[in-house]
A and B are shown apart, each in its own frame.
Chain A
């Protein structure tokens, strides 16, 4: 079983929709999680990181961790065509090595 699993999609939504992206993880000892966004032919860029359980909000983005079910979620409100990208969940080791999920391809159409 992979450390972090992610549904690859693809996911297609109309502009303005609320998007929910999800990952599951295998080890309950994991405490930090990160969400990266990757545009086509670009490297991943950090969107948000979260620690432990609960929600973290940044503008239209909300990251949520549910430790009881080992579930990580990223919600995007009022989605825009510019949000079209691949979204990667990741968990870091103590020195920063990242283990990524497979990535979910999101398309927001006007």
Chain B
């Protein structure tokens, strides 16, 4: 596709519910990042994939967060037993390679609200 597509755009979850957020990167993009953006804050790094390999998951806030990219294209971020503090916009970004001067294409994000 022309851009990074994320679904759903909005998700309301009851506390304790599991959620799955999907990211379709630009075709052929090797690098894929997930970021979490709380209201009024800049995005915070969660995890990084190069193809199907998860090379950095140091930003995942707890073991309730899990990400995968099994075939090196579509990625899913799963949050188990959601808590109110998980409410945020989850952004996915992809690039041809993890090069600083290529920049990244971000999706519009999934806004998660935990009630």
Q: Give the B-binding residues of A (Cβ under 8 A).
A: 6, 8, 32, 34, 41-46, 49, 88, 90, 92, 94-103
Of all chain B residues, which has the CB nearest A31? Answer: B100
Q: Give the A-binding residues of B (Cβ under 8 A).
A: 4, 31, 33, 35, 40-45, 48, 50, 55-56, 91, 93, 95, 97-104, 106-109, 111
Q: List 8 A-B contacts (CB under 8 A).
A: A34-B103, A42-B109, A43-B93, A44-B106, A97-B56, A98-B104, A99-B45, A103-B42
Structural contact, B109 and A32, CB atoms closer than 8 A? no
What separation, in Å, do the CA atoms of A95 and B93 have in the docked complex? 14
Of all chain A residues, which has the CB nearest B111? Answer: A41
Structural contact, B40 and A100, CB atoms closer than 8 A? no
A8 interface neighbour in B40, B93, B100, Cβ under 8 Å: B40
Structural contact, A96 and B95, CB atoms closer than 8 A? yes
Structural contact, A49 and B101, CB atoms closer than 8 A? yes
What separation, in Å, do the CA atoms of A43 and B42 have in the docked complex? 11
Structural contact, A46 and B103, CB atoms closer than 8 A? yes
What separation, in Å, do the CA atoms of A96 and B49 have in the docked complex? 11
Name the distance in Å between A57's Cβ and chain B's nearest Cβ: 17
Residues of A within 8 A of B111 (CB): 41
Structural contact, A92 and B42, CB atoms closer than 8 A? no
Name the distance in Å between B108's Cβ and chain A's nearest Cβ: 5
Residues of B within 8 A of A46 (CB): 103-104
Structural contact, A43 and B106, CB atoms closer than 8 A? yes
What separation, in Å, do the CA atoms of A94 and B101 have in the docked complex? 11
